[in-house]
Amino acid sequence: MKTSAFILLLRAWVTSALRRALAAVLLGSFACAVAAQDREQLERRVQSIATLIEASSAARQIETSGVAAARERRDNARLIHREAAAALRGDDLPQAAKLLDQAAREMMDGARLAKPEQITGEKNKRDFEARLDSARALLAAQQRITQEKSAGREAQEAARSIERQIGEAQAAAAQGRYEAARPVLDRAYLTARVSIEAMRRGDTLVRSLNFASAREEYDYEIDRNETHRMLIDVLLADRKDAAGAMPAAMQPFTEKANALRGAAEAQARKGDHAAGIKLLEDSTRELVRAIRSGGIYIPG
């Protein structure tokens, strides 16, 4: 009996040992597979970052920039990349990954240092010219509608104001002062837009627009109100006083407009869009008065 029990215990121990050994082999195989996969990924990153440093558009940008700081960052990236490759050869995968990240960051920092003013300047020029085309198109439309309707002094003054602002914006842009040119051009664009909308608003055709619902007409009035508010914002960009306050002549109109807009939104939240529409129209009329008091003549 004692021998049989011993044999059974021995068999159980052997079985358990075999299971542990098998588990160890499987875990080891899995770890090797993961390590191999990580190594392959790092090897691919070594190649891709080498391309970034030596043959990419960022590399060409740094080479032709003449910016010493940019070239220094690229040299740093090369050194760090070599250290990363050495760490990978030594099977120090975490260190290799860390160094590769550093090399990529150094290279991209170098690219940002290489002629940043040229890159930004070209984008500013493209953006300005696109906005200029839009402002000119709106000015042409505003002038055509003014003639068609035999509009009065306000529409004609608006046209002259738009032309003057476009000219000012172009003069600033010609000197490379796009930050100064853009607000002036935005003002011209918005002035043309609200002037056109105001003249067309009295047109029988526009008046006869059939909105699908009071909510749809409310949304239309919100957009019209918002356009006038944007024009107020660009007007105030260079007309606030040293304390940041708007011109005194404009303030009562904008305060009343804001109160009416808030009341309109409150009515809309209750589902009374018809009441909201009336309040929005009143709000926009106050914004027109504010714009006029700020020196821009628009119909309304």
**Where are the chain's structural domains?**
29-114, 115-195, 210-300
Nearest to 187 by CA among 223, 143, 234, 226: 234
pLDDT of residue 26: 44
| Prediction pTM value | 0.50
Residue 300: C-alpha distances to residues 29, 195, 202, 212, 283 (Å): 80, 8, 9, 25, 12
Tell me how far apart the 2 most distant CA atoms of the chain are, in Å. Answer: 122
Burial of 246 (0-12, 13-18, 19+ CB in 10 A): middle
pLDDT digits (tens, 9 = 90+) for 154-165: 778 888 888 999
pLDDT of residue 62: 84
Q: What is the DSSP string of 22-57?
A: HHHHHHHHHHHHHHHHHHHHHHHHHHHHHHHHHHSH
| Mean pLDDT estimate for the chain | 80
- The predicted model gives 120-131 an average pLDDT of 81
Query: Is it the case that residue 192 has pLDDT exceeding 90?
Result: no
Distance CA 74, CA 108 (A): 9
Distance CA 119, CA 122 (A): 5
| Least trusted range by pLDDT, from 113-117, 118-122, 291-295 | 118-122
b or e along 91-112 (b: 16 or more beta carbons within 10 Å of the residue's beta carbon)? eeeeebbebbebbbebbebbbe
Residues 154, 159, 161, 162, Cα dihedral to 10°: 140
Confidence class for position 31, pLDDT limits 50, 70, 90: very low
| Least trusted range by pLDDT, from 178-182, 191-195, 241-245, 276-280 | 241-245
